[in-house]
Structures are given as C-alpha cells and as structure tokens.
Amino acid sequence: MVLPNHPVRKEKCGVYLAKMNDDYNRSLTYEVQLVNGDAKVRSTRDFSRSEYEGGCGVPEFCSSEQLLSAARETEKGALEVCVRLSAPKPKKTTEKLFVNGYDE
C-alpha cells in the first residue's frame, strides 16, 4: 500500500504490509523496491506478534516526486514497485501462505 497524502508527511510516501489472515503466525522477510528509482527497504517482521490487520511499514519510503519520476521512466508511464517476500519453511506441510495484491 502506498500512501502519498499522509496528513503529517505530505511530501513523503509510505509502504505498509498488513496481516489480513489470523492463520499466519511466523516471521516474514519483505523487500520493497521502487523500479527506476533509488527507494528500497528490506526488513523482517514476526507476524506471530501482529494482530489481524496489524502490520508494519515505512512511513517515509520516498518522496512523491521520486514516485512520479520513476513512473515517467517506465514504458507506459505507470508506477512499478517490486515486492519480494520470503518466509521460513512451515513445520506442517499443509500450511500455506497466500499473498493478495493489486495490479493493473
């Protein structure tokens, strides 16, 4: 989730990862990178300590101008963000990890 109009940090954009399922209770390493830009963040979060819809993020990932500049550099003028997620192998082979996202 990118929030370009934060009430306090209007020039900055934040990225956040939210827990949308109570079944996931392990650590998760995430990396978010702005394609055609310099903004990048990598961190690990223990989701066993997060409540449903709780999560983590970076309130000052990059400036609004960096987002616009990176979008202008793409072929179609669209903002591109690369997201990588990794987690330890589950103890139970039936445990699954679902990733929901938006595109287009």
Question: Where are the domains positioned within the chain?
Answer: 2-86
pLDDT of 72 reads 92
Query: Cα angle at 1 between 97 and 59, to 5 degrees?
Result: 115
- If one counts every other C-beta atom within 10 angstroms of the C-beta of residue 43, the result is 13
Per the CB < 8 A criterion, the answer to whether 20 and 28 are in contact is no
Low-confidence ranges of the chain (pLDDT < 70): 1-10, 92-104
pLDDT of residue 33: 92
Overall size of the chain counted in residues? 104
Q: Is the pTM of this model over 0.85?
A: no
Residues 6+ apart with CB under 8 A from 6: 12, 13, 14, 59
Q: What is the DSSP letter of 49?
A: G
| Rounded distance between C-alpha atoms, residue 83 and residue 1, angstroms | 11
